[in-house]
Amino acid sequence: MENQRNWHTKHIESLSFGNRIADTVAKGMGSWNFIIIQTVLVVAWMILNMIGFVYHWDVYPFILLNLLFSTQAAYAAPIIMMSQNRQNERDRLHAEEDYKTNVDAKKEIEALAVLLKNIEVEKLDKIIQILVETKKDYLPNNDQ
């Protein structure tokens, strides 16, 4: 039996290395793990810079931290948008495949309805034929 690939497999196989990275980054940045880890790092950054006894590498109002967030946002936004565009393309392909499947199913159902109608007509014709033959057997014959 031939191994058939569905639309999802075809879509994944068509992704380039960069597209896969963008999807991975978008998936990671859209998770609770990322939010929790980033929150812990930001709180640690602020605490270490506020109570640091020897060296404050980013004193209040944390200009370096703001620069890091700006840089992160500058890269994250287009990467996430690329991933969303691919998601939209994937959804469009999925909708097209669903439509094709629905059209094929409709054609099969219509063909089955025609076959069932023909079977019913054939049954009715046989019943009528049997009734006519039975009627002939029970009616008196006028030829005698």
CB of 81 closer than 8 Å to CB of 19: no
User: What's the distance, CA 75 to chain centroid?
Assistant: 27
* Alpha-carbon gap, residue 124 to 118, rounded angstroms: 10
Q: Is the predicted pLDDT of residue 67 greater than 60, yes or no? A: yes
CB of 62 closer than 8 Å to CB of 46: yes
What was the pLDDT predicted at 21? Answer: 85
* Bigger pLDDT: 78 vs 9: 78
Query: Residues 51-75: what's their mean pLDDT?
Result: 86
What was the pLDDT predicted at 144? Answer: 47
**pLDDT per residue over 7-36, tens digit each?**
667 767 777 888 888 888 888 888 999 999
What was the pLDDT predicted at 103? Answer: 96
Q: Is the predicted pLDDT of residue 2 greater than 50, yes or no? A: no
**pLDDT per residue over 122-133, tens digit each?**
888 888 888 888
Percentage of the chain beyond pLDDT 90 is: 34
Domain boundaries, the chain: 7-105
Q: What Å distances lie between residue 52 and 44, 58, 60, 61, 114, CA to CA?
A: 11, 10, 12, 15, 84
What was the pLDDT predicted at 1? Answer: 42
**pLDDT per residue over 79-127, tens digit each?**
889 888 888 988 898 899 899 999 999 999 999 999 999 998 888 888 8
User: What's the distance, CA 76 to chain centroid?
Assistant: 24
Q: How confident is the model at residue 53 (pLDDT cuts 50, 70, 90)?
A: low
